[in-house]
Structure 1
Amino acid sequence: MSLDSVLASLRVPSDFNRYNDIPERDVIARLDRWKEDALRTLKELQTRVVQERAELSLKQQADIVSTTSVFDCDAVWVTPDSEGVAHDILYTFSEPPLPLVVQILQYSLKPLFRSNPHPSINLETGRKLTRPAGGPMASQDFYDSQTWKESPGASNVLLWCVRNIPSTAYEDLWHLVIPPLMALLDDYEARYKLIGVQVTSAMLERVPSAVLRRTGVDSLLMASLSRSLTQLQSPETPRLLPAAISTSLTLIQLMTSAGSVERFDQLCALLGDGIIGSIWPYASDRLPALLASIEALPPIIQFLGVGCARYLKVLVAQLVHPLAPLEYEKTSVELQVSSLRALSAVINACPERIPHWKGTILNGVARCWVSVVDPPKAPDAREPSADGNLSPETIKQELRNVCSVLMNACPSVLQEEYPRFMAADATMFDDLLRNK
C-alpha cells in the first residue's frame, strides 16, 4: 500500500463529530471498527516512518504529521493505544525545521479554514480589522459554511504547529496562525472553544508581546477568552473555564507591566466582570461551573493582592456559603475544599480588611467543621468526592489552614473568638484551633 493510501485510510470520518448523538447502531459499529483499523494502520505507518524517514519529502513529512497529530489527543476517535502510537510517530518529528511547519500551515490547514473567514481578521496579514468585514451580520455569517468541521482533529494539527513555531518566526507566520485560531476561539461550540484556548495558551508561551500588540490581536484574544466564561452548561465547562481564566492571566501578564494601572484594570475585569459577573450569578445550580471558577481563583487573588478588597463582600459571601449550605441546597467535597483554599488566598491578600469579616468566616468554618467531625446520621447536603481523593481529613486540614491565616491577618481572634469556641465545646474544636 502506498504512503498516500495509508494516510487516506487514517482520515477521520466526519461522523465522529456527532458520535455521541448518533442513534443508528450500525453507524456506531462502523465507526468503532474504523478505530480498530486505525490502530493497525498507525502501527504500519510507524514502521514505515522509522524505515523511510531519511527519504521522505517535505510534503510527505507534512502529510504524516497532519494525519498523525489528530490522534495525539483525547477524542472519541482515539483509543489509548492509538494515541500512544501517534505520540511515538510525532516524536520522530520533534524539533521540526521551520519549512515543515510552514508546509502544514500553508497547505494542510489554510485551505480548511479559507471558506470561514473571521470577520475581525485580515486573512492576508492576521491583523485585527478596524471594523468587522461584512457589516453587522458578519458574526452570524461566520457560523455558516464551517467546512473545517468536516475534518475532525484539524485543531490538533494547529496545536502541533503552534507548539513548534520559534518565537522569531511568529511575525512571518501570523497570517497562517491567527485566522484558524480565532475561528476556534469564537466558535459557538464549547469543545472548539476549549481547543482554541489550549492553542492560545501554547502560543503565548512563545509569541513576542510586540507582535500581539502591533497586530491588535491581544484585544481580540482577551475578548474571546472572556466570552468563553459564559459557557456554563456544556460537558467541556469544567475544563474550559479554568483554562480560559488561566490563559487570560497569562495574556495579561504578557501584555502589561507589573504594578501598572492597565494590569490592575484587566485583572479586575477578569475577576469582577468575568468570574463574579458572568459565572456566579448563573452557577448556583451548576456545581461543575461554580467549582471550576473557584478552583481558578487563587492565582487571580494573588496577582491582585489588596486590590481584590473591592470585591471582598461578594468573595467572602460566595466562598463561605458552600461550607454550610441551606438544607435544600447541595454542595460537594471538592467545592468546599476549593472554597477554603480560595478563602485562605483572600485572607492573605487583604489582611487589613479581614477583621470586619472574621465573624462571617468563622461561622462558616465552624459549621463545616462540625459537619465533618460529627456528620448527621441522615444524608446531608454534601456530596462525596467525585474522584475519591478528597477525604474528610483533606477538608479538616483546609479548615485548619483558614484558621491559621485568619489568626495571622487578625490576631484578635486569639483573645476573642477562639476562646469562645473552646469554652463552648473544647472537645469539638480543640483539633481545629490547636496551636492557634
Structure 2
Amino acid sequence: MSSIKSELVKLLERLRVPTYLSFVDGYATDTDISRLANTFKIQAELALKELQTLIQNATDNKLDDEEIIQIIVTCATFIGEESWTNSDLNKSAIATINSLITLQPKRFPTVTRMIQIFSSEILEKYVKPVFLKHTPVNVEKRSGKLKKQPVDFDIGNESWRGEIAKGSNILRWCILHLKNAEIGKTIGLIIPPTLSLIDDYNVNFKTRGVSILDHLLKELTPDIIQRTGLGEVFHEALSRCLTYQNEESHVSLLRQSFSAIISLISLIEKPNSEARFIKYEQILSNNVVRGFIFSGDKIVIRIILLEQIPNLSQELGIVMVKYLGELIQTICDSLQVTFEFTNKEQIIGLHYAAAKGLEKVISTCWPRIPQYKGRILKSVATSWYQVMRVEVNNNMLKKSLCNICQLLKLVCVQNNVNIKKDIQALLELDSEMFEPLLN
C-alpha cells in the first residue's frame, strides 16, 4: 500500500463517528456527551484539513474510484445537523468534496458531475444497506405500496439511529446534485430510503425525508411518477405529515410537507381536472381550516397555515367561497392579535401572513366579500393601529393592509354596497392615524 493510501485509511478512521454519539439526536445536552462531542468535532476538523492537503498532493490518479467514493460518503456524513457536526464542519466537509475535482478535472469538471458519475454506486453500497437493515418500511417494486417488514433492532438501543442519520445525509447530498435523467436511472435506490425517513416516528427524520422528496418533486417530470406508480404513495405519506400540527417542534415538518404536497399535486394532476380540485380542497378543508382549530395558541403553526391560503386560492378559485366564513374569522382574529401578547416579531409575521391571505381571499371570493366588510375593516384597522403605535418598520405589512382596504372598496363598488360610512367612521375616530391606510 502506498504512503498516500495508507494515510487516507488513517484519516477516514479518524473521521468515523464514535458509537457514543450515534444515538444522540441533534445537539448533545448531557454534559459528558457534550464534552466528548466537542472533542470529536475538533479532531474531525483537523482530520478534514489534513484530508484536503492529501487530496491536493494526490496527483497522477493515486486515488482510485472506490477511495474517492469513500471520501465523498465520509464527508457527506458531516453535512447535516447531527451531534457530531456543526456549521464549520459542514463547510469543511463540502470544501473537501469540492477539492476532489482537482484529481481528474477532465472527468470531474464539477462536483455535480462527479456525484452523478458515482451516484448509483454510492446509493447501492452506502445508503441502501443501512435502510434495509434498520428501517421497518419497504416499498414493493410492482405496486409501489408501503409494506411493513420485521426488523432486527433493539428498540431500547438507539445507537442504530446514528446509522440512519449518516445514511440520510449521504442520500440528501447525492440527490441535491441529481437532475431528472439521473434521478430516473436511480429511482429504485432513492425512493425506498426516502419513504422510510418520511414514515419514521422521529420528527427530525420525517422532516429530512419530506425535504428530500420535495427536492425530487421539483426535479422529476410527470412521466417518471406515472411510470413508477408512486404518485398516490407520495400523496398518502405527505398527507399523514400534514397532521403534525400539535407542537411547535412540528413547524419545519409542516412547512416542508405543504410545499411538497402542493408540488406533487401540480405534477401528477392535470390543470383544471376534478382530481386536482379534490386534492387541493382536501388540503384546505382537512389541514388548513381544521388546522386552525387544533393549532390553538401556537402562533408559528398558525402562520404556516395562513401562508398556504394564497396558493390554495389560486388553485381552487371560487370554490374558496365554501370556506369563506371560517377563513375570514381566522384571518381577522389573527390580525387582531396584540403585539404585546408574546414575541413581537412572531406576531408581526402572523399579521403579514394573515394580510397576504386576506388579499387573495378578497380577490378570489369578491362577490361574497361585502357581507364581511365591517369585520374586515375592523381587523385591518386594528392591525394598522398597532403597527403605527409601536412604530414597526415593516413596509410589506403596511402595504398589504393598504391593498386590502383598496380591494375592499373596489369589491363593494362592484357589488353596489356602500362602505363610505364605515370608512368615515374610522377617519372621524382618528384621521391622522387612518388617513394613510384608507386613502
Which TM-score bucket, shorter chain as reference?
Answer: 0.7 to 0.9
| 1:121 pairs with one of 139, 143, 159 | 139
Pairing 1:89–2:91 present = no
Q: Aligned ranges for residues 12-411 of structure 1 at < 5 Å?
A: 12-14=17-19, 15=21, 17-18=23-24, 24-52=30-58, 54-91=61-98, 92=101, 93-96=111-114, 98-116=116-134, 119=137, 121-122=139-140, 125=141, 127-129=143-145, 132-133=147-148, 149-151=161-163, 152-233=165-246, 236-277=249-290, 279-325=291-337, 332-374=347-389, 391=393, 394-411=396-413
Looking at structure 2, the residues matched to 282 and 418 of structure 1 have their Cα atoms a distance apart, in angstroms, of 35
In percent, how many aligned pairs have the same letter? 24
Contact 2:402 2:438 in 1 (8 A): yes
Contact 2:24 2:162 in 1 (8 A): no
Looking at structure 1, the residues matched to 27 and 142 of structure 2 have their Cα atoms a distance apart, in angstroms, of 35
Question: Where does residue 380 of structure 1 map in the other structure?
Answer: none
Looking at structure 1, the residues matched to 275 and 158 of structure 2 have their Cα atoms a distance apart, in angstroms, of 36
Select between 217-226 and 228-237 the one with higher mean Cα deviation.
Answer: 228-237
What is the RMSD of the two structures over their aligned residues, measured on CA atoms?
Answer: 3.1
* 3-state secondary structure, aligned to 1:410: helix
Looking at structure 2, the residues matched to 165 and 30 of structure 1 have their Cα atoms a distance apart, in angstroms, of 36
Deviation of the 1:237 alpha carbon = 2.3
Looking at structure 1, the residues matched to 388 and 341 of structure 2 have their Cα atoms a distance apart, in angstroms, of 20
Looking at structure 2, the residues matched to 301 and 235 of structure 1 have their Cα atoms a distance apart, in angstroms, of 26
Looking at structure 2, the residues matched to 127 and 171 of structure 1 have their Cα atoms a distance apart, in angstroms, of 17
Deviation of the 1:309 alpha carbon = 1.9
Deviation of the 1:70 alpha carbon = 2.4
* 3-state secondary structure, aligned to 1:239: helix
Question: Where does residue 421 of structure 1 map in the other structure?
Answer: 426
Contact 1:229 1:241 in 2 (8 A): yes
Select between 216-225 and 88-97 the one with higher mean Cα deviation.
Answer: 88-97
Contact 1:184 1:192 in 2 (8 A): yes
Q: Which amino acid aligns with 1:59?
A: E
Q: Which amino acid aligns with 2:74?
A: T
Task: Describe the shift of the 1:302–1:6 C-alpha distance in structure 2 as closer, same or farther (beyond 3 A).
Answer: same
Looking at structure 2, the residues matched to 428 and 350 of structure 1 have their Cα atoms a distance apart, in angstroms, of 29
Contact 1:62 1:101 in 2 (8 A): no
Instruction: Report the number of matched residues.
Output: 413
Q: Which amino acid aligns with 1:50?
A: Q
Select between 88-97 and 32-41 the one with higher mean Cα deviation.
Answer: 88-97
Looking at structure 1, the residues matched to 156 and 274 of structure 2 have their Cα atoms a distance apart, in angstroms, of 40
* 3-state secondary structure, aligned to 1:419: helix
Structure 2 stretches lacking a partner, 5+ long: 1-5, 102-110
Select between 322-331 and 100-109 the one with higher mean Cα deviation.
Answer: 322-331
Looking at structure 1, the residues matched to 36 and 24 of structure 2 have their Cα atoms a distance apart, in angstroms, of 14
Contact 1:126 1:175 in 2 (8 A): no
Deviation of the 1:45 alpha carbon = 1.6
Task: Describe the shift of the 1:142–1:329 C-alpha distance in structure 2 as closer, same or farther (beyond 3 A).
Answer: farther
1:101-136 Cα distance to aligned partner (Å, 9 max, x none): 0111000011101124554612xx37513x8455xx
Deviation of the 1:362 alpha carbon = 0.9
* 3-state secondary structure, aligned to 1:194: helix
Contact 1:320 1:361 in 2 (8 A): yes
Question: Where does residue 381 of structure 1 map in the other structure?
Answer: none
Question: Where does residue 11 of structure 2 map in the other structure?
Answer: 6
Select between 167-176 and 40-49 the one with higher mean Cα deviation.
Answer: 167-176
Question: Where does residue 105 of structure 2 map in the other structure?
Answer: none
**TM-score when normalising by structure 1:** 0.84
Contact 1:9 1:38 in 2 (8 A): yes
Task: Describe the shift of the 1:430–1:328 C-alpha distance in structure 2 as closer, same or farther (beyond 3 A).
Answer: closer
Deviating runs (4+, > 6 A) in structure 1?
141-147, 326-329
Contact 1:242 1:296 in 2 (8 A): no
Q: Which amino acid aligns with 1:200?
A: L
Looking at structure 1, the residues matched to 340 and 88 of structure 2 have their Cα atoms a distance apart, in angstroms, of 45
Deviation of the 1:148 alpha carbon = 5.3
**TM-score when normalising by structure 2:** 0.84
Deviation of the 1:150 alpha carbon = 2.5
Select between 262-271 and 211-220 the one with higher mean Cα deviation.
Answer: 211-220
* 3-state secondary structure, aligned to 1:18: coil
Q: Which amino acid aligns with 1:30?
A: L
Deviation of the 1:23 alpha carbon = 5.9
Looking at structure 2, the residues matched to 395 and 102 of structure 1 have their Cα atoms a distance apart, in angstroms, of 48
Looking at structure 2, the residues matched to 50 and 276 of structure 1 have their Cα atoms a distance apart, in angstroms, of 57
Looking at structure 2, the residues matched to 329 and 81 of structure 1 have their Cα atoms a distance apart, in angstroms, of 37
